Chain A
Amino acid sequence: MSAARSTKETTRRAPVLTEPTTLTFGKALTAGMRAAMAANDRVIIAGEDVATLGGVFRITEGLLDEFGEDRVRDTPLGESGIVGTAIGMAMRGWRPVLEIQFDGFVFPAFSQITTQLAHIHSRTAGRVNMPVVIRIPFQGGIGAIEHHSESVESYFIHTPGLKVVSPSTPNDAYWMIQQAIAADDPVVFLEPKRRYHMKGEVDPSAPPRGLFESAVVRPGTDVTMVAYGSTVPTCLEAAEAAAKEGNSIEVIDLRTLSPLDLGPVEASVRRTGRLVIVHEAPQTLGLGSEVAARIQEQCFWSLEAPVLRVTGFDVPYPPSKVERHHLPDLDRVLDAVDRSLDY
């Protein structure tokens, strides 16, 4: 086994960043985890295929060689076991970073996450912290078979005791995974898998934005657009296209899904009067519902048009040859912009 590893030694090293570097989203995550493990020897990685293989997406590649099999652990194949045993380890002060291989496979662990992990702090009257990170590649758009393209965020957002975040850029991936690992509460860390190969600059020295803060990623004046994960680049493309038609779109990346940081959204809507929310998750009780409800509470007199949502439909995730009809794309987002402006 070690011989097989050594043949690929050069490609398997986790990136060590000392200066601004262009990385893929996936390698930025690897670099972030590597930094977190180097900073704190209580941080351990566990999951299916995460050690020798480096994960099916290679996000943990190189960590086994650097940190050894005590800290980078291939587990038996059972999501509930991965999460349940991590709870016991966290009770002893370990900081497990767990990989669920695909979004649709998290549900065998659902009870451990929602009834145990999320409750242990309150159940023990605050005596026991659960610094556990559950990394889940989520959302679709990669032409996968059933159960590999799900948007699972609402289940976890709806569970008090959990925090839920999702980066959309390599720089955020690098920093947010470190911040999630440093957090003393359980964090569901949602990775937009179709952006794993997207490149961007990662700056290891610039102070990062807070983990639980949303960000205006493109300023604008006519319509506010809210997205997270995979749909942030979609919205930036839409804003670019809309600009050519003379419409100025402000794009906000939520970054944190629970807790929500809607201050920047409210400030934006007070200026634009119009809001379009874009996510892949099914519409009903998707995060857009909560954002819409809060914005009408906080910005009622500023709204010039109904809050609109561009989302996945309320159908099981479709076969890959037709998934493009299900996913919010440039045209559907621009259609919503037009409807908002025409109202």
Chain B
Amino acid sequence: MADHSTGVRMIGLLGPDGVRVEDADHAYRGTDTDIAGALRDMVMTRRLDAEGTALQRQGQLGLWPPTLGQEAVGVGTMHAMKPSDMCFPTYREHGAALMRGVDPVDIMSLFRGVDMGGWDPIATRFNRYAIVIGSQPLHAVGWAMGLQLEGLTGNGKADDGAVLAFFGDGASAQGDVNEALVWAASYKAPVVFIVTNNQWAISVPTTRQTVVPLARRGEGFGIPGVRVDGNDVLAVQAVTEAALARARHGGGPQLIEMFTYRMGAHTTSDDPTKYRSRAEEDRWRAKDPIERVRTYLMRAGAIDEAWLDALQVEVDDFAADLRARTLALDPPDFADWFDQVYAEQTDELAEQQQAYRTYAASFDDEEVRR
């Protein structure tokens, strides 16, 4: 099968060794303080992710899809977005969710099975996680087309709107994703496609999904694409910012392949030892997105051990609070679920709801009703 690790230029601004790299076309414009902020956000993301895995192992969540190793994609892309921009994520973008101001307990509630996720997708400008692979890029393009109809993009203003549509290497094979590319190009919609190539769609490698590098997937649709070192938060942010600026100023859609690696399992139900080698994981572990930033900042003198210790305290507090609030999430009253099906409840559904309530009320024991 094709080897996608070569054959297309990969944009990187910070190497695995923590050394800044010059790129002819892209530059990270932030300060070391900004980079320290990105480090903090990635560490926070990793801790959120570790808590998710631990809570699943402790029986507190039904499932958890780890984002371990992909922290730079979520943090870098969201640092590139403006508050009014809209994001349509996959179900693995826990870091991105944090960056958009989603309360992490609202992610836990989804995987605990008490609701479908607790956050407001419109207020946070961060849509619900998409569970059907590749279903969401079409929605992102539709949102972008709505911005066009409303005259909220392409006006040469700083607050012109744009949209980020996430999907993965596996989703790239889905028809809906390809239709999203067709629509985005046809209407020149202000949308940036973030293709998180983490090398594995559960057990199937990216090379089964595509014989050309995903960075080139947009070419035939008329959508330019680039490959970015997805473990390099500086490059992720810089390239995403440029693509969003182009989109919001009427330049049309763009595709960015974030070349990264899913260090964990697909979900807590998965066993990666069945399909990939420890040696491969070790090769990617050496390219860790957090370690390289820490190395760079320490070497630059921008942070020190005391800074890292303080961050550790902040992260521990964050985790303890998240755990406590997750354990306190009780299941809702099932009868309320009937109320959420329609904006305008139907008589026949109201009858079923009432029948259920009557039946449930016939039990004395509150626990049975739960």
Q: Pick the contact of A126 from B128, B143, B186, B343 — CB < 8 Å?
A: B343
Interface of chain B residues 340 through 366 with chain A (CB within 8 A): 340-344, 346-349
B122 interface residue (CB < 8 Å to A)? yes
B81 interface residue (CB < 8 Å to A)? no
Query: Are A81 and B339 CB-contacts (below 8 A) given A87-B139, A112-B135, A122-B116?
Result: no
Q: B residues within 8 A CB of A131? A: 343
B80 interface residue (CB < 8 Å to A)? no
Q: A residues within 8 A CB of B132? A: 111, 115-116
* A80 and B179 alpha carbons, distance in the complex (Å): 8
A83 (CB) vs chain B CBs: closest residue: B138
Query: Are A76 and B182 CB-contacts (below 8 A) given A89-B143, A111-B176?
Result: yes
Q: Pick the contact of A92 from B115, B146, B176, B344 — CB < 8 Å?
A: B146
B144 interface residue (CB < 8 Å to A)? yes
Contact A116 B146 (CB under 8 A): no
Say how far A76's CB is from chain B's closest CB, in angstroms: 5
Q: Give a binary string over B114-142; 1 marks a CB under 8 Å from any A CB, 0 the rest.
A: 01111011100001100010010011111
Contact B183 A91 (CB under 8 A): no
Contact A125 B146 (CB under 8 A): no
Contact A212 B346 (CB under 8 A): yes
Contact B342 A185 (CB under 8 A): yes
Say how far A331's CB is from chain B's closest CB, in angstroms: 34
Contact B179 A78 (CB under 8 A): yes
A143 interface residue (CB < 8 Å to B)? no
Interface of chain B residues 314 through 370 with chain A (CB within 8 A): 337, 339-344, 346-349
Query: Are A160 and B341 CB-contacts (below 8 A) given A81-B180, A87-B138, A89-B146?
Result: yes
Q: B residues within 8 A CB of A240? A: none
* A39 and B18 alpha carbons, distance in the complex (Å): 60
Contact B343 A88 (CB under 8 A): no
Say how far A45's CB is from chain B's closest CB, in angstroms: 13
Contact A125 B116 (CB under 8 A): yes
Contact A86 B344 (CB under 8 A): no
Query: Are A121 and B146 CB-contacts (below 8 A) given A78-B182, A80-B175, A108-B175?
Result: no
* A289 and B19 alpha carbons, distance in the complex (Å): 70
Interface of chain B residues 174 through 199 with chain A (CB within 8 A): 175-176, 179-180, 182-183, 186
Say how far B254's CB is from chain A's closest CB, in angstroms: 18
* A85 and B186 alpha carbons, distance in the complex (Å): 12
B25 interface residue (CB < 8 Å to A)? no
B279 interface residue (CB < 8 Å to A)? no
B182 (CB) vs chain A CBs: closest residue: A76
Say how far B77's CB is from chain A's closest CB, in angstroms: 19
Say how far A170's CB is from chain B's closest CB, in angstroms: 26
Q: Pick the contact of B340 from A75, A89, A94, A125 — CB < 8 Å?
A: A125
Contact A127 B122 (CB under 8 A): yes
Q: Give a binary string over B164-177; 1 marks a CB under 8 Å from any A CB, 0 the rest.
A: 00000000000110
Q: Pick the contact of B143 from A92, A112, A115 — CB < 8 Å?
A: A92
* A184 and B348 alpha carbons, distance in the complex (Å): 18
Query: Are A116 and B128 CB-contacts (below 8 A) given A80-B179, A122-B340, A124-B121?
Result: no
Q: B residues within 8 A CB of A260? A: 348
A161 interface residue (CB < 8 Å to B)? yes
A160 (CB) vs chain B CBs: closest residue: B341
A128 interface residue (CB < 8 Å to B)? yes
* A94 and B121 alpha carbons, distance in the complex (Å): 16
Contact B347 A91 (CB under 8 A): no
Q: A residues within 8 A CB of B306? A: none
Contact A87 B142 (CB under 8 A): yes
B263 interface residue (CB < 8 Å to A)? no
Contact B183 A76 (CB under 8 A): yes
Q: B residues within 8 A CB of A121? A: 340-343
* A108 and B138 alpha carbons, distance in the complex (Å): 14
Q: Give a binary string over A59-80; 1 marks a CB under 8 Å from any B CB, 0 the rest.
A: 0000000000010000110101
Contact B176 A126 (CB under 8 A): no
Interface of chain B residues 270 through 298 with chain A (CB within 8 A): none
Extra inter-chain contacts (19) besides given A89-B143, A91-B146, CB under 8 Å: A70-B149, A78-B183, A80-B175, A84-B141, A85-B183, A88-B141, A88-B145, A89-B142, A89-B145, A91-B142, A94-B149, A111-B132, A112-B135, A112-B138, A116-B132, A123-B117, A124-B121, A126-B340, A161-B341
Using CB atoms and an 8 Å cutoff, list the residues of chain B in contact with chain A.
Answer: 115-118, 120-122, 127-128, 132, 135, 138-147, 149-150, 175-176, 179-180, 182-183, 186, 337, 339-344, 346-349
Using CB atoms and an 8 Å cutoff, list the residues of chain A in contact with chain B.
Answer: 44, 70, 75-76, 78, 80-81, 83-94, 108, 111-112, 115-116, 121-129, 131, 160-161, 163, 183-185, 212, 259-261
| CB pairs A–B below 8 angstroms (28 shown) | A44-B149, A76-B182, A81-B183, A85-B139, A85-B142, A85-B183, A86-B142, A87-B139, A87-B142, A89-B142, A111-B132, A111-B135, A111-B176, A115-B135, A121-B340, A122-B337, A125-B115, A126-B340, A127-B121, A128-B121, A128-B122, A161-B342, A163-B346, A183-B343, A184-B344, A212-B347, A259-B347, A259-B349
